Amino acid sequence: MPDPDREALPGELFERLTQLFRDVLGEGTPDDQLLARCRADLGDDHTTTLTVAHDLAAHLRTLGEHERACALDEDTLTRRRRVLGDDALPTLTSAHNLAADLRALGEHDRARVLDEDTLTRRRRVLGEDHPATLRSANNLAVDLRVLGQYEKARALSEETLTRCRRVLGEDHPHTLTAAHNLANDLRALHDHQRARELGEDTLTRCRRALGEDHPHTLTAGHNLANDLRALGEHQEARALGEDTMNRRREVLGEDHPDTLISAHNCAVDMRELGQYEQARVLDEDTLIRYRRVLGEDHPHTLTSAHNLANDLRALGEHEQARALGEDTLGRRRRALGPDHPDSLISASNLALDLRSLGEYQQARALDEDTLARCREVLGHDHPNTLTSAYNLARDLRALGEHEQARELSMDTLTRCQRLLADDVADGATFQDGHLRIRQLEQWIRSQYQPVKR
C-alpha cells in the first residue's frame, strides 16, 4: 500500500519537509546515517527526525526487516505521542505502521488492539470515508481474520470495499487491497466460489492498473491460485502459483515472506497432484527459510512445518511426521490457543500419524478432544468438524468399537448429505467445503454399504 504518511501530512508542510531534505540533508532513500545526522543536528524529537525515522522504517519493512522496522516505529510512535498528541495525523500514521510490523512478526493480538484504537481515532478525526481511515479498517479486518474471527472480518471488509469503491473508484490500489482482503475472508469461510469470482476481477484490474510484477498483482495472483486449489483445480492453481512464485523471487527475493508463502502453496499443489517428493523438497527449503527469517513460532513457520509433516505422511514416513506434528501442535497451542482452527487441524493430523503407527488409544483421545473443540468453535456441520468426526470413527473401528463407530459415521453421513443437498438447492455447489464434504460422504458410504439415501 502507498505510504500513508504522505497523505496524512498537509500538502504545504510536506513540501517544506521535502525541500528541507533536499537542501540540508541530501537526497536518496533514508538510511541509518541520515537518521543519525538528523538526530545529531536537529534532536531526537524534531519533526524532521521523526519523519526520517518513519521513512527508514517503511524502507526496512519493504525489505522484510520487520524487527528493525518494529523497533524504529515503536520509538517514533512514543515520541510523536509525546510531542504531537495521540490524535495527531503523524501519530496515527506511526500507530498504523507499528501495527503492520507487529502483524508481520506474528503478534496479532497486539496488532489488533493498536489497529482498533487507530481506526476509532481516524474515524473521529478524519471521517469514515477518508483513505487513511479505510486503510485502518482494512488492516483491522486482517487482524480479525488471522485471529479466527472470520465473520467479523468479512463484515468489516465488505463495508470497507463498498466505501473504497465509492470514494476512490474500482481500480484504485486501496480498493484493490480491500477487494483482496474480502476475498481472503470469504476464503476463510470456505466460500471459495465467491472468493474466486472476486479474485479473478481483482487480478485483472491489478494487471491493468499496476502491471504484471507489481506486489499487489502478485498477491492477487497468489490468492486466486488459493481459490482454484480449494475448488480442486490443482493444475490451474499450480500454473498460476508457480508463475507468481517465480515473479516474487525475481522482484522480492528468495527469503521474502511473500515469496515463501508462494513456495509453500506450490508445494501444496504438488502434493495434491501426487508429486510428494517434489513437495517435500520445496517444503523443506521453505521451512528452513521461514525459521531463519521469521522464527520458530511465527504462524507462517508453523504452517510450513504442518505442510512438511503432510508430505512425510504421504511418503509413509510416519515417525518423522509424528515428531514434526507434535512440535507444531505444541507451538500452535502456545501461540494461538488450543481452540484456534489451525491448532485443531494440527491435532487432527497428529492423530492420523498416531493411528498409522498403531497407537489407536492415543489417536482416539486426541480425536475426541479435537471433535469436541471443533463442535464448540466451528459448529457441528463445519467441514473440519465433519472430518474430525470421521477420523474419530476410524479410531473406534480400529479399536473394535464398531457400534459407536457406525453411529458416529451415520450421523456424519446424514450431515454431509444434508449439506450437499442444500448446496445444490442454493446453486452453490463448491461453497463451504463442498468438495471435502462430498469426499467424506463417499468414504463413509464405501465403508457402510448398503446405505439408504
Q: Per-residue pLDDT tens for 126-156?
A: 999 999 999 999 999 999 998 889 999 999 9
Kindly tell me if the per-residue pLDDT of 19 is higher than 90: no
Task: Tell which residue, 282, 297, 222, 257, has the closest CA to residue 66.
Answer: 257
Which pLDDT value is given to residue 216?
A: 87
Question: Would you place residue 1 in the very low, low, confident or very high pLDDT band (cuts 50, 70, 90)?
Answer: very low
Q: Which residue has the cell 478524519?
A: 126
Distant-in-sequence, close-in-space partners of 69: CB < 8 Å, separation ≥ 6: 57, 58, 60, 61, 97, 101
The string of pLDDT tens digits covering residues 282-338 is 999 999 999 998 899 998 899 999 999 999 999 999 999 999 999 999 999 998 899
The string of pLDDT tens digits covering residues 84-131 is 999 999 999 999 999 999 998 889 999 999 999 999 999 999 999 999
| Average pLDDT of the residues of the chain | 87
Determine the residue type at 100: A
Kindly tell me if the per-residue pLDDT of 451 is higher than 60: no
Q: Which residue has the cell 489451525?
A: 342
pTM over 0.95: no
Q: Percent of the chain beyond pLDDT 90?
A: 67
Which pLDDT value is given to residue 29?
A: 56
Task: Tell which residue, 186, 264, 174, 275, has the closest CA to residue 227.
Answer: 186
Kindly tell me if the per-residue pLDDT of 6 is higher than 50: no
Contact of 138 with 175, CB cutoff 8 Å = no
Distance, C-alpha 225 to centroid of its chain: 14
Q: Is 190 left (phi over 0), alpha (psi -120 to 50) or beta?
A: left
Burial state string for 154-170 with b = 16 or more CB within 10 A and e = fewer than 16: bebbbbbbebbeebbee
Which pLDDT value is given to residue 30?
A: 65
Distance, C-alpha 298 to centroid of its chain: 12
Which pLDDT value is given to residue 65?
A: 86
Determine the residue type at 335: A
Kindly tell me if the per-residue pLDDT of 425 is higher than 60: no
First to last CA, the chain: 52
Q: Find the mean pLDDT for residues 72-93.
A: 95
* Residue ranges of E strands in 41-110: none
Q: What is the DSSP letter of 452?
A: -
Alpha-carbon distances of 155 from 109, 140, 151, 189, 397, rounded to whole Å: 19, 11, 6, 12, 42
Using alpha carbons only, what angle is made at residue 71 by residues 67 and 73, rounded to the nearest 5 degrees?
110
Question: Would you place residue 445 in the very low, low, confident or very high pLDDT band (cuts 50, 70, 90)?
Answer: confident
The string of pLDDT tens digits covering residues 251-276 is 999 999 889 999 999 999 999 899 99
Residue 29's Cβ-count burial label (10 Å; 0-12, 13-18, 19+) is exposed
